[in-house]
Amino acid sequence: MIYTITLNPAIDYVVQVDQFTAGGLNRSQADYKEAGGKGINVSRVLQRLGGESTALGFVGGFTGKFITDYLTETGILHDFIQLKEDTRINLKMKSGEEETEVNGVSPKIESTDYQQLLDQLKQLKQEDVVILAGSLPTSLSSSTYREIVAQLSEQGIKAIVDTSGLPLQEAIKASPTFIKPNHHELAELFDTKVEGEQDIIHLAKRLNQEYKIQHVLISMAKDGAIYVGDGGVLRLTAPVGQAVHSVGAGDSAVAGFIYKLQQTGYPQEAAQYAVASGSATAFSKTLCTKEEVEALLPQVQIKQI
């Protein structure tokens, strides 16, 4: 079973206004609400691709109930730990070509809540895969992902991490199986500048060799991606299309990689599927479907470096 962990989920409240006026009355032209958070997005995309997962993490209050009800209605398994405080709401307002985001305050996670999650993970089996994705609530330490990956490693369970900043810097010390930073996040990991593909490859190889990370996929948006790992060093082109929806593209790439790697065991095919999945979401108004991904797949050319 694949498990996704979202430590800081949210209701994403998406609002479309004609022309936003600061300090004035703005009327919504359209709006919708959906369960948000990177791990939850990965579960949603896995389901659309034909895979199955169980969503884990923390939810609370009436907003947390919205998230669990949403996942139940869409057929996604979940087993969240219940908090005393409400899950946050993130506002995403679209006005013309501009997007404005206001992220809500994270609920407090007590030490007993966190321990309950660690105990929950102790029940998993070696054949399971765990994907940890997204930001950390302010009440949790920046070393949280590193601690969880280390525990999973002791249990013989593969862990995937998709985050950024200090939590990622800490997480790589525990040698997760797969990470997917973009080229800016890669440079930040080593406190250096990236000026070309050779710099990217050099730093990704350091992640392989020094941190024992099996698969590293460096995303570069419209410029495609570079994979470095058990499958060698690969340069992957991005499909051509009009980007209309950046939210969830990275989560879709993670889901695509794990889905195809579980299916075939070939990192090259997984990397190709990841790029197609991320692009399919970017070209759509919502998260990608399997049909959209496979329509783009032939455009993702792979070059062995």
> What tokens were used for 107?
């609920």
- Residue 185 class from Cβ within 10 Å (0-12 exposed, 13-18 middle, 19+ buried)? middle
Name the pairing type of β-strands 77-78 and 81-83. unpaired
Q: Which residues pair with 131 in a beta bridge?
A: 4, 160
Ordered DSSP codes for 226-269: EEEETTEEEEEPPPP------TTHHHHHHHHHHHHHHHH--HHH
Residue 110 CA to residue 78 CA, distance in Å, equals: 21
Contact assessment for residue 290 and residue 50, using Cβ atoms and an 8 Å cutoff = yes
Q: Is 31 a catalytic residue?
A: no
Beta-carbon contacts of 19 under 8 Å, excluding residues fewer than 6 positions away, are: 95, 96
Name the pairing type of β-strands 2-6 and 10-17. unpaired
Q: Active-site residue among 86, 113, 162, 251?
A: 251
Catalytic residue numbers? 251
